Structure 1
Amino acid sequence: MIVTTPKKVPPMEEIGDEIFKIVLPQPFYAPNNIYLFVDNDGLTLIDSGYIESVPMLQASLKTRGFSLRDIKNIIYTHNHLDHISSSLILKSYAPKAVYYGYRAMQDGVGNYLDSMRLFEQATEDLFTVAFGDPVQLEKIISESRSGWVNFYSKFQETKKGDPILRIDKAIDHNDSMEIGDRRFRFIYTPGHNLYHITPVIQESGVYFSGDLIIANLTAIYSEMDGSLGDYYFTLSKLLEEPIKRLLPAHGHEIEDPMRTITLVKKTLSILEKGVIRRLRESPSDLLNLMEAAIGKKVHNGGHLPTALGLIYSIIKKLILEGLIRIEKRDSGYEIFHLKE
């Protein structure tokens, strides 16, 4: 991949507390917020974005007189490709960068491309559960595969890429360490993702929430590598934290962190009651339950797998509680019935 200046350069905007933000567009999901600190010896980043967004990242840095080589530290909130896949080539363009991430992430992920192929298969399995119409299923899987092919091709375009996920400094829950010119504390915050951490600047009360709490879609998490139980637990623990600012990886800054976290928990409870209410009316499948709960607009973006995953996790919770039974077809398609 040749790092060139894109036509439209996202600004490197100062947002207070000595924090800068770059909003990187990407071909799926909402744009990524990359948070930066200008240190005496270079730049510290919170996440670095999608592999295809590296040229935009470099162009944005240039607006403030920096380049990719000025990156000295990158802290990763988790290993989803819109947050970390750029690291597969940044090792060449930012050779002095030190990579920070949850301790289990490097061993758990290993070859990043292989891990994403497992994620791709899990996504298709979820679509198979949700879509009973073979034509509709084939269309949605074809679109999904096209997106994955694009991702793999972007890695293959560069001869400088390395598929092995690299973490130089392993982070455990409640670790505190100096990175750049400031001290960070880290909270292990699973739920959206198994390896999710929340970096905290305690001096200013700034929390970087990654994908735990995001402004463009409340209460979303990834069923493919997350856990609804962990998500509930993490939200409860966050409510005990002295949060002054909550900066998400997508969308605008959360204006009222405590109220928003409480609302997310309430939303999950409402969704669960909604699933029960709709199944009380008649048996239903995952697609219809998701559309009733979240809406059909979710089809028009990259949030469809996570929206389906969110509702499916609620269904599985209710199955474990003995409230729902599954009618599974040979194709893998499932219909859910509320037990009498």
Structure 2
Amino acid sequence: MADTTTPDTDDIPFNRDFPLAPGIVDEPVPGVRRIVCANPSPFTFTGTVSYIVGRGKVAIIDPGPDNEAHAQALLAAVQGEEVTHILVTHTHRDHSPNTPRIKAATGATVYAEGPHRASRPRYESEKITTESGADRDFVPDVRLADGELIHGDGWTLETVYTPGHTANHIAFAWPERKLMFIGDHVMGWSTSIVAPPDGSMVDYMASLDRLAAREEDVYFSGHGPTIPDARRFVRFLIRHRKAREASILHRLAKGEADIQTLVRAIYIGIDPRLTGAAGYSVLAHLEDLVARNVVATSGDPVIGGVYRLV
């Protein structure tokens, strides 16, 4: 799920050229097939991308949203093969709800970090609501730890814990091939949304730093095209997030401000439909800045707070 509110993206080589139509199977590299679900939106781009790993005995990564047509397309793509593994990167509703359909049809074992959870408890001052984007029904058969190896027929994937977009976000590296199924942590067409309490900017930046130190050259993302030169792209994202932080501090240097004021100052010309998402992106940065004692607020750092430099 993307943060499409980003206005200053000239420093990031985004690629929005992804013509793959829903339901069509292609094979971007040998042993990796992908199918796009017909769930386009400002946050999902052309739709959620599901991946099929291997031949004969295969794994399906991220079965997608609650969508019968997409489930049938995935099953048609593996007709005559055995699905042994279902791997889920995280539990947003555009990635995991189709899992029961695929499991019922194939009997495959479901692997993930765990059920959905927030990155932190809600503060008392926050309105108690349920995140509409969370798949709270999802429970994996096998809970994966960081660094755990998942063995299949002709492939071995490594679990890479990448919290930030969600607390339970993981990626699946194929070290032998120097590629990674990166979920929504990194996307080639847009920055990824980090919205507290579901997400955490502290965790997100730490995960980016970790990815930059790994050896994978190619990322297959949950939305949009393949990301080549992946580590360089991650460094672009790190610089961009730091620039966003600098913009927040620049505005606060002029005086205290609430999040709506910060959004107006930072996101020039933003589509009004996206101001809510922009506000939560700013909040994610502010939570980090408050924790580092760079910015202060009265009470907990929440969406309705007023912020000032320390």
Selected match of 2:63 from 21, 45, 48: 48
Alignment of 1:253 with 2:265, yes or no, is no
Can you list the C-alpha shifts for 1:266-287, whole angstroms capped at 9, x where unaligned? Answer: 1111111100111222432213
Alignment of 1:32 with 2:45, yes or no, is no
| Superposition map of 1:171-186 within 5 A | 171-186=144-159
| Superposition map of 1:293-304 within 5 A | 293-294=266-267, 297=270, 299-300=272-273, 304=276
Query: How many Å separate the matches in 2 of 1:280 and 1:70?
Result: 59
Contact persistence 2:165–2:192 (CA under 8 A): no
Contact persistence 1:12–1:21 (CA under 8 A): yes
Q: Which structure's CA Rg is the greater one?
A: 1
Of residues 224-233 and 17-26 in structure 1, the stretch that sits farther from structure 2 once superposed is 224-233
Contact persistence 2:22–2:37 (CA under 8 A): no
C-alpha RMSD of matched pairs (Å): 3.4
Alignment correspondent of 1:57: 71
Note the C-alpha offset of 1:23. 1.2
| Superposition map of 1:216-227 within 5 A | 216-218=189-191, 220-227=193-200
Can you list the C-alpha shifts for 1:88-140, whole angstroms capped at 9, x where unaligned? Answer: 44443x241210111xx14xx4xxxxx7xx89x97xx98x8xxxxxxxxxxxx
Alignment of 1:10 with 2:20, yes or no, is no
Alignment of 1:83 with 2:91, yes or no, is no
Q: TM-score, normalised by structure 2?
A: 0.77
| Gap runs ≥5 in structure 1 | 1-7, 110-114, 129-140, 156-162
Query: How many Å separate the matches in 2 of 1:216 and 1:287?
Result: 26
* Structure having the larger proportion of residues in helix: 1
Q: 1:245 to 1:27 in 2, by over 3 A?
A: closer
Q: 1:88 to 1:190 in 2, by over 3 A?
A: same
Contact persistence 1:192–1:223 (CA under 8 A): no
Contact persistence 2:297–2:305 (CA under 8 A): yes
Selected match of 1:199 from 168, 172, 194: 172
SS in structure 2 at match of 1:56: helix
Can you list the C-alpha shifts for 1:244-291, whole angstroms capped at 9, x where unaligned? Answer: 211111122113212211111111111111001112224322133235
| Superposition map of 1:1-340 within 5 A | 9-26=22-39, 28=41, 29-30=43-44, 31-41=47-57, 43-51=58-66, 53-59=67-73, 61-62=75-76, 64=77, 66=79, 71-92=83-104, 94-102=105-113, 105-106=114-115, 109=116, 148=132, 164-218=137-191, 220-294=193-267, 297=270, 299-300=272-273, 304-305=276-277, 307-326=278-297, 333-339=304-310
Can you list the C-alpha shifts for 1:167-206, whole angstroms capped at 9, x where unaligned? Answer: 2222111111312431111111112221111101111111
Question: Amino acid of the residue matched to residue 333 of structure 1?
Answer: G
Q: 1:268 to 1:46 in 2, by over 3 A?
A: same
Q: 1:164 to 1:277 in 2, by over 3 A?
A: closer
Question: Amino acid of the residue matched to residue 73 of structure 2?
Answer: A
Query: How many Å separate the matches in 2 of 1:288 and 1:13?
Result: 45
Query: How many Å separate the matches in 2 of 1:299 and 1:180?
Result: 49
Can you list the C-alpha shifts for 1:135-166, whole angstroms capped at 9, x where unaligned? Answer: xxxxxx9xxx9x95xx89xx9xxxxxxx7433
Q: TM-score, normalised by structure 1?
A: 0.71
Q: Give % identity.
A: 20
| Gap runs ≥5 in structure 2 | 1-20
Q: 1:220 to 1:292 in 2, by over 3 A?
A: farther
Aligned residue-pair number: 281
Q: 1:288 to 1:57 in 2, by over 3 A?
A: farther
